[in-house]
Structure 1
Amino acid sequence: MKPRTSGSVIRLAAPLRALAQRFSFLLLVLACVALMMVGKIEALSVDNARARVTDAFAPILDAISRPAATAARVVESAVEVQNAFEENQRLKAENARLLQWKQAALRLESENASLRSLLKATPEPSVSYITARVIAAPGSSFLRTLVVTAGRRDGVRKGQAALAGPGLVGRVIEVGEWSSRILLLTDINARVPVVVESSRQRAVLAGDNSDQPKLLYLPPETPVQVGERVVTSGHGGLFPPGLPVGVVTSAGERGVRVLPNADLSRIEHLRLVEFGLPGTDLDQASEWK
Protein backbone atom coordinates (compact mmCIF):
# COMPACT_ATOMS: atom_id res chain seq x y z
CA MET A 1 0.00 0.00 0.00
CA LYS A 2 2.79 2.44 0.75
CA PRO A 3 4.39 2.27 -2.69
CA ARG A 4 0.99 2.88 -4.25
CA THR A 5 0.41 5.93 -2.02
CA SER A 6 3.81 7.46 -2.78
CA GLY A 7 3.24 6.98 -6.49
CA SER A 8 -0.10 8.74 -6.26
CA VAL A 9 1.52 11.67 -4.44
CA ILE A 10 4.16 11.96 -7.11
CA ARG A 11 1.54 11.92 -9.85
CA LEU A 12 -0.41 14.66 -8.07
CA ALA A 13 2.70 16.79 -7.41
CA ALA A 14 3.95 16.66 -10.97
CA PRO A 15 1.25 18.97 -12.41
CA LEU A 16 1.68 21.35 -9.49
CA ARG A 17 5.47 21.53 -10.07
CA ALA A 18 4.93 22.17 -13.76
CA LEU A 19 2.38 24.87 -12.93
CA ALA A 20 4.76 26.50 -10.47
CA GLN A 21 7.60 26.50 -12.99
CA ARG A 22 5.30 27.93 -15.62
CA PHE A 23 4.14 30.85 -13.47
CA SER A 24 7.30 31.33 -11.37
CA PHE A 25 8.16 34.69 -12.96
CA LEU A 26 4.65 35.98 -12.35
CA LEU A 27 4.75 34.75 -8.76
CA LEU A 28 8.06 36.54 -8.17
CA VAL A 29 6.63 39.76 -9.57
CA LEU A 30 3.59 39.45 -7.33
CA ALA A 31 5.83 38.77 -4.35
CA CYS A 32 7.88 41.89 -5.11
CA VAL A 33 4.73 43.98 -5.41
CA ALA A 34 3.48 42.56 -2.13
CA LEU A 35 6.78 43.38 -0.42
CA MET A 36 6.66 46.94 -1.79
CA MET A 37 3.12 47.38 -0.51
CA VAL A 38 4.07 46.03 2.87
CA GLY A 39 7.06 48.36 2.91
CA LYS A 40 4.80 51.33 2.25
CA ILE A 41 2.18 50.29 4.78
CA GLU A 42 4.52 49.00 7.51
CA ALA A 43 7.65 51.00 6.82
CA LEU A 44 8.87 50.81 10.41
CA SER A 45 8.46 47.05 10.58
CA VAL A 46 10.24 46.57 7.24
CA ASP A 47 13.12 48.80 8.36
CA ASN A 48 13.46 46.83 11.58
CA ALA A 49 13.41 43.55 9.68
CA ARG A 50 16.01 44.85 7.21
CA ALA A 51 18.22 45.96 10.10
CA ARG A 52 17.98 42.52 11.74
CA VAL A 53 18.86 40.79 8.48
CA THR A 54 21.78 43.14 7.96
CA ASP A 55 22.98 42.51 11.52
CA ALA A 56 22.67 38.76 10.98
CA PHE A 57 24.71 38.79 7.78
CA ALA A 58 27.25 41.40 8.87
CA PRO A 59 29.63 38.90 10.52
CA ILE A 60 29.49 36.71 7.42
CA LEU A 61 30.18 39.65 5.11
CA ASP A 62 33.00 40.81 7.37
CA ALA A 63 34.56 37.33 7.33
CA ILE A 64 34.28 37.22 3.54
CA SER A 65 35.71 40.71 3.06
CA ARG A 66 38.79 40.12 5.22
CA PRO A 67 40.53 37.74 2.80
CA ALA A 68 39.68 40.06 -0.09
CA ALA A 69 41.06 43.09 1.76
CA THR A 70 44.15 41.14 2.75
CA ALA A 71 44.70 40.07 -0.84
CA ALA A 72 44.24 43.66 -2.01
CA ARG A 73 46.80 44.87 0.54
CA VAL A 74 49.24 42.18 -0.56
CA VAL A 75 48.85 43.17 -4.21
CA GLU A 76 49.20 46.86 -3.32
CA SER A 77 52.34 46.15 -1.30
CA ALA A 78 53.82 44.18 -4.18
CA VAL A 79 53.11 47.06 -6.57
CA GLU A 80 54.66 49.56 -4.14
CA VAL A 81 57.75 47.38 -3.77
CA GLN A 82 58.07 47.15 -7.55
CA ASN A 83 57.67 50.93 -7.92
CA ALA A 84 60.19 51.54 -5.16
CA PHE A 85 62.65 49.20 -6.86
CA GLU A 86 62.25 50.95 -10.20
CA GLU A 87 62.57 54.38 -8.53
CA ASN A 88 65.69 53.19 -6.73
CA GLN A 89 67.25 52.04 -9.99
CA ARG A 90 66.40 55.35 -11.64
CA LEU A 91 67.88 57.32 -8.75
CA LYS A 92 71.04 55.22 -8.80
CA ALA A 93 71.49 55.89 -12.52
CA GLU A 94 70.81 59.60 -12.00
CA ASN A 95 73.25 59.72 -9.09
CA ALA A 96 75.91 58.09 -11.24
CA ARG A 97 75.36 60.71 -13.97
CA LEU A 98 75.52 63.50 -11.41
CA LEU A 99 78.78 62.13 -10.03
CA GLN A 100 80.20 62.18 -13.56
CA TRP A 101 79.10 65.79 -14.00
CA LYS A 102 80.59 66.65 -10.61
CA GLN A 103 83.94 65.19 -11.62
CA ALA A 104 83.80 67.06 -14.93
CA ALA A 105 82.92 70.31 -13.12
CA LEU A 106 85.79 69.89 -10.66
CA ARG A 107 88.20 69.17 -13.50
CA LEU A 108 87.03 72.21 -15.46
CA GLU A 109 87.23 74.38 -12.34
CA SER A 110 90.82 73.31 -11.76
CA GLU A 111 91.67 73.86 -15.44
CA ASN A 112 89.99 77.27 -15.40
CA ALA A 113 91.93 78.33 -12.31
CA SER A 114 95.18 77.18 -13.92
CA LEU A 115 94.48 79.10 -17.14
CA ARG A 116 93.51 82.22 -15.21
CA SER A 117 96.78 82.10 -13.34
CA LEU A 118 98.69 81.79 -16.63
CA LEU A 119 96.77 84.65 -18.25
CA LYS A 120 96.79 86.81 -15.12
CA ALA A 121 93.05 87.28 -15.62
CA THR A 122 91.25 89.83 -13.50
CA PRO A 123 89.02 88.01 -10.99
CA GLU A 124 85.28 88.45 -11.23
CA PRO A 125 83.86 91.06 -8.85
CA SER A 126 82.17 89.70 -5.76
CA VAL A 127 78.40 89.34 -5.87
CA SER A 128 76.16 90.42 -3.01
CA TYR A 129 72.40 90.43 -2.82
CA ILE A 130 69.48 91.49 -0.64
CA THR A 131 66.25 89.54 -0.37
CA ALA A 132 63.14 91.71 -0.33
CA ARG A 133 59.42 91.02 -0.19
CA VAL A 134 57.06 92.45 -2.79
CA ILE A 135 54.44 94.60 -1.09
CA ALA A 136 52.74 96.28 -4.03
CA ALA A 137 52.42 96.21 -7.78
CA PRO A 138 51.25 99.76 -8.55
CA GLY A 139 51.18 99.11 -12.26
CA SER A 140 48.70 100.15 -14.89
CA SER A 141 48.25 99.90 -18.62
CA PHE A 142 51.22 102.24 -19.01
CA LEU A 143 53.50 101.19 -16.14
CA ARG A 144 54.70 97.82 -14.87
CA THR A 145 56.64 98.10 -11.62
CA LEU A 146 56.90 96.43 -8.21
CA VAL A 147 57.55 97.90 -4.77
CA VAL A 148 59.70 95.89 -2.35
CA THR A 149 60.50 96.17 1.36
CA ALA A 150 64.17 97.10 1.07
CA GLY A 151 65.72 100.49 0.65
CA ARG A 152 68.78 102.62 1.11
CA ARG A 153 69.24 101.52 4.71
CA ASP A 154 69.54 97.91 3.49
CA GLY A 155 72.15 98.72 0.84
CA VAL A 156 69.87 98.92 -2.21
CA ARG A 157 71.14 101.10 -5.06
CA LYS A 158 69.76 102.17 -8.41
CA GLY A 159 70.64 99.85 -11.25
CA GLN A 160 70.81 96.66 -9.19
CA ALA A 161 69.41 93.59 -10.92
CA ALA A 162 66.17 92.10 -9.60
CA LEU A 163 66.11 88.31 -9.81
CA ALA A 164 63.39 85.82 -8.96
CA GLY A 165 64.26 82.14 -8.81
CA PRO A 166 64.51 81.19 -12.48
CA GLY A 167 65.86 84.42 -13.94
CA LEU A 168 66.00 88.18 -14.40
CA VAL A 169 62.89 90.19 -13.54
CA GLY A 170 64.00 93.79 -13.90
CA ARG A 171 66.15 96.42 -12.21
CA VAL A 172 65.95 98.96 -9.40
CA ILE A 173 64.94 102.41 -10.69
CA GLU A 174 63.96 104.22 -7.48
CA VAL A 175 65.33 103.85 -3.97
CA GLY A 176 63.80 105.18 -0.77
CA GLU A 177 64.90 104.80 2.80
CA TRP A 178 62.65 101.80 3.47
CA SER A 179 61.44 100.68 0.05
CA SER A 180 62.44 100.51 -3.60
CA ARG A 181 60.72 100.38 -6.98
CA ILE A 182 61.53 97.73 -9.59
CA LEU A 183 61.01 98.29 -13.30
CA LEU A 184 59.94 94.98 -14.87
CA LEU A 185 61.15 93.53 -18.15
CA THR A 186 57.69 93.92 -19.63
CA ASP A 187 57.45 97.68 -19.03
CA ILE A 188 57.46 99.84 -22.15
CA ASN A 189 60.55 101.67 -20.87
CA ALA A 190 62.62 98.50 -20.33
CA ARG A 191 65.51 97.72 -22.68
CA VAL A 192 67.94 94.88 -22.00
CA PRO A 193 70.82 93.77 -24.26
CA VAL A 194 70.44 90.01 -24.71
CA VAL A 195 71.75 87.19 -26.84
CA VAL A 196 69.95 84.19 -28.31
CA GLU A 197 71.83 81.34 -26.70
CA SER A 198 72.01 78.85 -29.57
CA SER A 199 72.86 81.22 -32.43
CA ARG A 200 74.72 83.75 -30.22
CA GLN A 201 72.88 86.51 -32.07
CA ARG A 202 72.71 89.77 -30.15
CA ALA A 203 69.49 91.71 -29.75
CA VAL A 204 67.65 94.05 -27.38
CA LEU A 205 64.74 92.82 -25.31
CA ALA A 206 62.12 95.57 -25.36
CA GLY A 207 59.03 95.65 -23.17
CA ASP A 208 55.73 96.90 -24.57
CA ASN A 209 53.46 96.44 -21.52
CA SER A 210 52.42 92.98 -22.72
CA ASP A 211 53.26 89.72 -20.97
CA GLN A 212 55.83 88.83 -23.63
CA PRO A 213 58.43 91.45 -24.58
CA LYS A 214 59.93 91.40 -28.06
CA LEU A 215 63.41 91.21 -29.52
CA LEU A 216 64.61 94.22 -31.49
CA TYR A 217 67.50 94.69 -33.94
CA LEU A 218 67.65 91.06 -35.00
CA PRO A 219 68.95 90.61 -38.55
CA PRO A 220 66.15 89.36 -40.85
CA GLU A 221 68.09 86.22 -41.78
CA THR A 222 68.65 85.17 -38.15
CA PRO A 223 67.23 81.64 -37.64
CA VAL A 224 65.39 81.98 -34.33
CA GLN A 225 63.46 78.91 -33.21
CA VAL A 226 60.64 78.68 -30.70
CA GLY A 227 61.96 77.34 -27.40
CA GLU A 228 65.43 78.92 -27.64
CA ARG A 229 66.76 80.43 -24.44
CA VAL A 230 67.50 84.14 -24.20
CA VAL A 231 70.17 85.40 -21.77
CA THR A 232 71.78 88.75 -21.01
CA SER A 233 74.69 89.66 -23.24
CA GLY A 234 76.60 91.79 -20.72
CA HIS A 235 76.70 94.89 -22.92
CA GLY A 236 75.90 98.20 -21.30
CA GLY A 237 77.53 97.44 -17.97
CA LEU A 238 74.41 96.85 -15.87
CA PHE A 239 74.12 93.07 -16.01
CA PRO A 240 76.79 90.38 -16.41
CA PRO A 241 76.48 88.01 -19.37
CA GLY A 242 74.55 84.78 -19.04
CA LEU A 243 71.67 85.75 -16.76
CA PRO A 244 68.57 83.77 -17.83
CA VAL A 245 65.86 86.01 -19.20
CA GLY A 246 63.30 83.81 -20.96
CA VAL A 247 62.48 81.58 -23.91
CA VAL A 248 61.31 82.40 -27.43
CA THR A 249 57.60 81.69 -27.78
CA SER A 250 56.94 82.97 -31.30
CA ALA A 251 58.98 84.03 -34.30
CA GLY A 252 57.17 85.34 -37.35
CA GLU A 253 55.99 88.40 -39.19
CA ARG A 254 54.96 90.07 -35.93
CA GLY A 255 58.47 89.72 -34.57
CA VAL A 256 60.13 87.52 -32.00
CA ARG A 257 58.40 87.29 -28.62
CA VAL A 258 60.03 86.11 -25.39
CA LEU A 259 58.28 84.70 -22.34
CA PRO A 260 60.17 85.63 -19.13
CA ASN A 261 61.35 82.72 -17.02
CA ALA A 262 59.69 84.16 -13.92
CA ASP A 263 55.94 84.60 -13.71
CA LEU A 264 55.88 88.36 -13.19
CA SER A 265 52.29 88.31 -11.96
CA ARG A 266 53.03 85.98 -9.02
CA ILE A 267 56.29 87.26 -7.59
CA GLU A 268 56.37 87.42 -3.80
CA HIS A 269 60.11 87.80 -3.09
CA LEU A 270 63.01 89.24 -5.07
CA ARG A 271 66.77 89.20 -4.86
CA LEU A 272 68.34 92.58 -5.49
CA VAL A 273 71.81 91.68 -6.71
CA GLU A 274 74.90 93.87 -6.78
CA PHE A 275 77.32 92.44 -9.34
CA GLY A 276 79.94 95.11 -8.75
CA LEU A 277 79.98 96.19 -12.39
CA PRO A 278 80.93 99.74 -13.36
CA GLY A 279 77.99 101.91 -14.34
CA THR A 280 75.44 100.07 -12.22
CA ASP A 281 74.36 103.24 -10.47
CA LEU A 282 73.94 105.34 -13.59
CA ASP A 283 70.49 106.89 -13.83
CA GLN A 284 70.61 107.31 -17.58
CA ALA A 285 71.46 103.74 -18.48
CA SER A 286 71.39 102.96 -22.15
CA GLU A 287 70.01 99.50 -21.43
CA TRP A 288 66.68 100.76 -20.19
CA LYS A 289 66.01 104.16 -21.64
Structure 2
Amino acid sequence: MSDAIFPARVIICEVAPRDGFQSEDQWIPTEQKIKIIRALANTGVQSIEVTSFVHPKAIPQLKDAEEVVKGIEDLTHIKFRALVPNVKGAQRAIAAGIKKLKLMLSATDSHSLSNANCLVEEAQRGFEPIVDLAQKHNVEVGGSISVAFGCPYEGKVPLEKIVTIVDRYKKMGITEVSLADTTGMANPKQVYQYLGVLKKEFPHMTFSMHFHNTRGMALANVVAALQQGVIHFDSSVAGLGGCPYAPGATGNIATEDLVHSLEEMGIETGIHLDRIIDVAKDVRNMLGHDGGSYMLQAGPCSKLSPKPTAQEKLEK
Protein backbone atom coordinates (compact mmCIF):
# COMPACT_ATOMS: atom_id res chain seq x y z
CA MET A 1 0.00 0.00 0.00
CA SER A 2 1.65 3.23 -1.18
CA ASP A 3 1.79 6.34 1.02
CA ALA A 4 0.84 8.36 -2.07
CA ILE A 5 -2.80 7.30 -1.76
CA PHE A 6 -3.23 9.27 1.45
CA PRO A 7 -3.63 13.04 1.73
CA ALA A 8 -0.86 14.92 3.53
CA ARG A 9 -3.25 16.81 5.80
CA VAL A 10 -6.84 16.56 7.01
CA ILE A 11 -9.28 18.96 8.66
CA ILE A 12 -11.11 17.75 11.76
CA CYS A 13 -14.31 19.31 13.07
CA GLU A 14 -14.88 18.74 16.78
CA VAL A 15 -18.54 17.88 17.44
CA ALA A 16 -18.65 17.01 21.15
CA PRO A 17 -20.32 20.28 22.21
CA ARG A 18 -23.28 19.33 20.02
CA ASP A 19 -23.32 15.61 19.20
CA GLY A 20 -21.57 14.60 22.40
CA PHE A 21 -23.42 16.75 24.90
CA GLN A 22 -26.89 16.24 23.40
CA SER A 23 -26.95 12.63 24.62
CA GLU A 24 -26.17 13.49 28.24
CA ASP A 25 -29.17 13.23 30.55
CA GLN A 26 -27.62 15.22 33.40
CA TRP A 27 -27.60 18.97 32.76
CA ILE A 28 -24.19 20.38 31.82
CA PRO A 29 -24.00 23.98 33.07
CA THR A 30 -23.56 26.58 30.33
CA GLU A 31 -20.30 27.81 31.83
CA GLN A 32 -18.93 24.26 31.70
CA LYS A 33 -19.82 23.96 28.02
CA ILE A 34 -18.10 27.26 27.31
CA LYS A 35 -15.04 26.16 29.30
CA ILE A 36 -14.74 22.93 27.27
CA ILE A 37 -15.15 24.76 23.95
CA ARG A 38 -12.44 27.22 24.97
CA ALA A 39 -10.15 24.34 25.91
CA LEU A 40 -10.81 22.65 22.57
CA ALA A 41 -10.04 25.92 20.77
CA ASN A 42 -6.60 25.83 22.39
CA THR A 43 -5.68 22.43 20.91
CA GLY A 44 -5.24 23.56 17.31
CA VAL A 45 -8.65 22.36 16.12
CA GLN A 46 -9.90 24.60 13.30
CA SER A 47 -13.63 23.91 13.38
CA ILE A 48 -16.13 23.17 16.16
CA GLU A 49 -19.83 22.27 15.95
CA VAL A 50 -20.81 24.19 19.06
CA THR A 51 -24.52 23.45 19.48
CA SER A 52 -27.86 22.85 17.79
CA PHE A 53 -30.69 25.35 17.58
CA VAL A 54 -33.47 22.86 18.17
CA HIS A 55 -36.61 23.22 20.25
CA PRO A 56 -35.72 22.89 23.94
CA LYS A 57 -38.31 20.13 24.38
CA ALA A 58 -36.62 18.06 21.68
CA ILE A 59 -33.12 18.24 23.17
CA PRO A 60 -33.21 19.96 26.60
CA GLN A 61 -29.41 19.74 26.95
CA LEU A 62 -28.95 22.31 24.17
CA LYS A 63 -31.56 24.84 25.30
CA ASP A 64 -28.77 27.29 26.10
CA ALA A 65 -27.54 27.54 22.47
CA GLU A 66 -27.58 31.35 22.37
CA GLU A 67 -25.76 31.67 25.69
CA VAL A 68 -23.05 29.23 24.60
CA VAL A 69 -22.43 31.09 21.34
CA LYS A 70 -22.31 34.42 23.15
CA GLY A 71 -19.74 33.03 25.57
CA ILE A 72 -17.29 32.12 22.79
CA GLU A 73 -17.80 34.95 20.31
CA ASP A 74 -14.29 36.28 20.93
CA LEU A 75 -12.70 33.05 19.58
CA THR A 76 -12.45 34.42 16.06
CA HIS A 77 -9.72 31.98 14.96
CA ILE A 78 -12.16 29.05 15.08
CA LYS A 79 -14.84 28.27 12.50
CA PHE A 80 -18.03 27.64 14.44
CA ARG A 81 -21.03 25.85 12.98
CA ALA A 82 -24.38 24.80 14.39
CA LEU A 83 -26.96 22.20 13.47
CA VAL A 84 -30.38 23.58 12.52
CA PRO A 85 -33.53 21.50 11.93
CA ASN A 86 -35.80 24.18 10.44
CA VAL A 87 -36.19 27.86 9.53
CA LYS A 88 -36.83 28.88 13.14
CA GLY A 89 -33.58 27.22 14.19
CA ALA A 90 -31.73 28.91 11.34
CA GLN A 91 -33.11 32.31 12.35
CA ARG A 92 -31.95 31.78 15.93
CA ALA A 93 -28.50 30.62 14.82
CA ILE A 94 -27.97 33.55 12.45
CA ALA A 95 -29.18 36.03 15.07
CA ALA A 96 -26.70 34.53 17.53
CA GLY A 97 -23.84 35.12 15.10
CA ILE A 98 -23.26 31.63 13.66
CA LYS A 99 -21.64 31.84 10.20
CA LYS A 100 -22.13 28.22 9.13
CA LEU A 101 -25.29 26.13 9.38
CA LYS A 102 -25.50 22.36 9.07
CA LEU A 103 -28.78 20.85 7.91
CA MET A 104 -30.26 17.75 9.51
CA LEU A 105 -31.55 15.06 7.13
CA SER A 106 -31.97 11.28 7.24
CA ALA A 107 -31.20 8.86 4.42
CA THR A 108 -34.29 6.72 5.04
CA ASP A 109 -37.96 7.49 5.52
CA SER A 110 -38.11 5.39 8.70
CA HIS A 111 -35.35 7.33 10.42
CA SER A 112 -36.72 10.61 9.07
CA LEU A 113 -40.16 9.90 10.52
CA SER A 114 -38.55 9.20 13.89
CA ASN A 115 -36.21 12.19 13.72
CA ALA A 116 -38.17 14.85 11.80
CA ASN A 117 -41.72 13.47 11.67
CA CYS A 118 -41.79 13.56 7.86
CA LEU A 119 -40.46 11.68 4.84
CA VAL A 120 -36.97 12.35 3.46
CA GLU A 121 -37.98 14.25 0.32
CA GLU A 122 -40.43 16.44 2.24
CA ALA A 123 -37.80 17.19 4.89
CA GLN A 124 -35.24 18.12 2.26
CA ARG A 125 -37.64 20.41 0.39
CA GLY A 126 -38.12 22.21 3.70
CA PHE A 127 -34.47 23.28 3.56
CA GLU A 128 -35.00 25.65 0.62
CA PRO A 129 -36.13 28.62 2.76
CA ILE A 130 -33.19 27.98 5.12
CA VAL A 131 -30.75 28.18 2.21
CA ASP A 132 -32.44 31.37 0.97
CA LEU A 133 -32.27 32.92 4.44
CA ALA A 134 -28.60 32.01 4.82
CA GLN A 135 -27.70 33.50 1.45
CA LYS A 136 -29.32 36.80 2.43
CA HIS A 137 -27.14 36.94 5.54
CA ASN A 138 -23.95 35.67 3.89
CA VAL A 139 -23.99 32.50 6.00
CA GLU A 140 -22.63 29.17 4.74
CA VAL A 141 -24.83 26.07 4.63
CA GLY A 142 -23.67 22.47 4.63
CA GLY A 143 -25.86 19.46 4.03
CA SER A 144 -25.80 16.21 5.97
CA ILE A 145 -27.15 12.70 5.56
CA SER A 146 -27.69 10.69 8.74
CA VAL A 147 -27.70 6.86 8.60
CA ALA A 148 -26.04 7.25 5.19
CA PHE A 149 -24.65 3.73 5.11
CA GLY A 150 -27.01 1.78 7.33
CA CYS A 151 -30.32 2.45 9.05
CA PRO A 152 -31.35 0.75 12.33
CA TYR A 153 -34.88 0.34 10.90
CA GLU A 154 -34.21 -0.48 7.23
CA GLY A 155 -30.71 -1.96 7.15
CA LYS A 156 -28.16 -1.16 4.45
CA VAL A 157 -29.00 2.06 2.61
CA PRO A 158 -28.86 1.71 -1.21
CA LEU A 159 -26.30 3.97 -2.85
CA GLU A 160 -29.01 5.22 -5.22
CA LYS A 161 -30.81 6.89 -2.29
CA ILE A 162 -27.67 8.77 -1.34
CA VAL A 163 -27.07 9.88 -4.93
CA THR A 164 -30.64 11.21 -5.14
CA ILE A 165 -30.29 13.17 -1.90
CA VAL A 166 -26.91 14.65 -2.87
CA ASP A 167 -28.34 15.66 -6.25
CA ARG A 168 -31.16 17.55 -4.53
CA TYR A 169 -28.61 19.26 -2.30
CA LYS A 170 -26.61 20.23 -5.40
CA LYS A 171 -29.68 21.79 -7.00
CA MET A 172 -30.13 23.92 -3.87
CA GLY A 173 -26.65 25.31 -4.36
CA ILE A 174 -25.08 23.36 -1.50
CA THR A 175 -21.47 22.33 -2.15
CA GLU A 176 -20.64 20.39 1.02
CA VAL A 177 -22.35 17.25 2.34
CA SER A 178 -21.57 15.28 5.50
CA LEU A 179 -22.11 11.52 5.29
CA ALA A 180 -22.93 10.23 8.77
CA ASP A 181 -22.68 6.62 9.88
CA THR A 182 -25.03 7.36 12.74
CA THR A 183 -25.20 3.87 14.26
CA GLY A 184 -21.85 2.48 13.12
CA MET A 185 -23.23 0.16 10.42
CA ALA A 186 -20.77 1.12 7.66
CA ASN A 187 -17.81 -1.02 6.63
CA PRO A 188 -14.60 0.08 4.85
CA LYS A 189 -15.42 -1.59 1.53
CA GLN A 190 -18.84 0.07 1.44
CA VAL A 191 -17.39 3.48 2.37
CA TYR A 192 -14.77 3.20 -0.36
CA GLN A 193 -17.32 2.12 -2.99
CA TYR A 194 -19.93 4.74 -2.09
CA LEU A 195 -17.39 7.57 -2.10
CA GLY A 196 -15.96 6.38 -5.41
CA VAL A 197 -19.36 6.75 -7.06
CA LEU A 198 -20.30 9.98 -5.28
CA LYS A 199 -17.04 11.72 -6.12
CA LYS A 200 -17.43 10.73 -9.78
CA GLU A 201 -21.08 11.82 -9.93
CA PHE A 202 -20.47 15.07 -8.02
CA PRO A 203 -16.86 16.12 -8.70
CA HIS A 204 -17.35 19.62 -7.29
CA MET A 205 -19.03 18.49 -4.06
CA THR A 206 -16.98 18.38 -0.85
CA PHE A 207 -17.74 15.29 1.22
CA SER A 208 -17.04 15.09 4.93
CA MET A 209 -17.31 11.97 7.05
CA HIS A 210 -19.01 11.54 10.42
CA PHE A 211 -18.26 8.07 11.78
CA HIS A 212 -19.62 6.54 14.97
CA ASN A 213 -17.68 3.68 16.52
CA THR A 214 -20.67 1.59 17.58
CA ARG A 215 -19.26 -1.61 16.09
CA GLY A 216 -15.56 -0.77 16.25
CA MET A 217 -15.06 0.05 12.57
CA ALA A 218 -14.78 3.85 12.65
CA LEU A 219 -11.00 4.06 12.20
CA ALA A 220 -11.06 1.49 9.41
CA ASN A 221 -13.77 3.53 7.71
CA VAL A 222 -11.61 6.65 8.06
CA VAL A 223 -8.81 4.88 6.20
CA ALA A 224 -11.21 3.89 3.42
CA ALA A 225 -12.35 7.51 3.10
CA LEU A 226 -8.74 8.71 3.05
CA GLN A 227 -8.07 6.36 0.16
CA GLN A 228 -10.78 8.21 -1.75
CA GLY A 229 -9.10 11.55 -1.04
CA VAL A 230 -11.51 12.75 1.66
CA ILE A 231 -9.87 15.25 4.02
CA HIS A 232 -12.81 16.44 6.16
CA PHE A 233 -13.78 14.42 9.24
CA ASP A 234 -15.98 14.94 12.30
CA SER A 235 -14.99 13.52 15.68
CA SER A 236 -15.87 13.95 19.33
CA VAL A 237 -13.45 14.36 22.20
CA ALA A 238 -13.56 11.40 24.64
CA GLY A 239 -15.66 9.51 22.09
CA LEU A 240 -18.89 11.11 23.23
CA GLY A 241 -22.05 11.09 21.14
CA GLY A 242 -25.14 9.28 20.05
CA CYS A 243 -28.45 9.96 18.37
CA PRO A 244 -31.61 10.05 20.51
CA TYR A 245 -33.59 8.93 17.45
CA ALA A 246 -31.39 5.97 16.49
CA PRO A 247 -31.65 2.84 18.67
CA GLY A 248 -28.25 1.51 19.68
CA ALA A 249 -26.32 4.61 18.63
CA THR A 250 -23.13 5.16 20.60
CA GLY A 251 -20.27 7.63 20.53
CA ASN A 252 -18.41 9.21 17.66
CA ILE A 253 -14.86 8.30 16.86
CA ALA A 254 -12.79 9.94 19.60
CA THR A 255 -10.93 13.03 18.43
CA GLU A 256 -7.81 12.05 20.35
CA ASP A 257 -7.87 8.57 18.75
CA LEU A 258 -8.35 10.04 15.28
CA VAL A 259 -5.53 12.57 15.72
CA HIS A 260 -3.21 9.88 17.06
CA SER A 261 -3.99 7.44 14.24
CA LEU A 262 -3.54 10.02 11.52
CA GLU A 263 -0.29 11.34 12.91
CA GLU A 264 1.06 7.78 13.26
CA MET A 265 0.34 7.50 9.52
CA GLY A 266 2.21 10.73 8.83
CA ILE A 267 -0.94 12.75 8.12
CA GLU A 268 -1.05 16.22 9.66
CA THR A 269 -4.09 17.45 11.59
CA GLY A 270 -2.79 20.67 13.14
CA ILE A 271 -4.11 19.43 16.50
CA HIS A 272 -1.78 19.06 19.48
CA LEU A 273 -2.22 15.45 20.64
CA ASP A 274 -1.27 15.95 24.30
CA ARG A 275 -3.62 18.92 24.60
CA ILE A 276 -6.58 17.09 23.09
CA ILE A 277 -5.94 14.12 25.40
CA ASP A 278 -5.95 16.52 28.37
CA VAL A 279 -9.30 17.95 27.25
CA ALA A 280 -10.66 14.42 26.88
CA LYS A 281 -9.60 13.68 30.47
CA ASP A 282 -11.29 16.86 31.68
CA VAL A 283 -14.52 15.96 29.84
CA ARG A 284 -14.46 12.45 31.28
CA ASN A 285 -13.96 13.83 34.77
CA MET A 286 -16.75 16.36 34.29
CA LEU A 287 -19.27 13.79 33.06
CA GLY A 288 -18.06 10.80 35.03
CA HIS A 289 -17.56 8.70 31.91
CA ASP A 290 -16.23 8.70 28.37
CA GLY A 291 -17.70 7.27 25.20
CA GLY A 292 -14.84 4.93 24.40
CA SER A 293 -11.34 6.34 23.92
CA TYR A 294 -8.20 4.32 23.31
CA MET A 295 -5.99 7.27 24.21
CA LEU A 296 -7.64 7.54 27.62
CA GLN A 297 -7.17 3.81 28.12
CA ALA A 298 -3.71 3.10 26.72
CA GLY A 299 -2.19 6.46 25.77
CA PRO A 300 -0.30 7.21 22.55
CA CYS A 301 2.31 4.90 21.01
CA SER A 302 4.98 7.39 22.02
CA LYS A 303 4.26 6.72 25.69
CA LEU A 304 6.83 4.01 26.35
CA SER A 305 7.45 2.02 29.51
CA PRO A 306 10.84 2.12 31.25
CA LYS A 307 13.27 -0.49 29.95
CA PRO A 308 14.04 -3.26 32.42
CA THR A 309 17.62 -3.33 33.66
CA ALA A 310 19.85 -6.39 33.77
CA GLN A 311 19.77 -6.29 37.58
CA GLU A 312 15.96 -6.33 37.58
CA LYS A 313 16.00 -9.42 35.37
CA LEU A 314 18.44 -11.18 37.67
CA GLU A 315 16.29 -10.36 40.69
CA LYS A 316 13.28 -11.97 39.01
TM-score range, shorter chain: under 0.3
Larger radius of gyration: 1
With normalisation by structure 1, the TM-score equals: 0.23
The structure where strand makes up a greater share of residues is 1
With normalisation by structure 2, the TM-score equals: 0.22
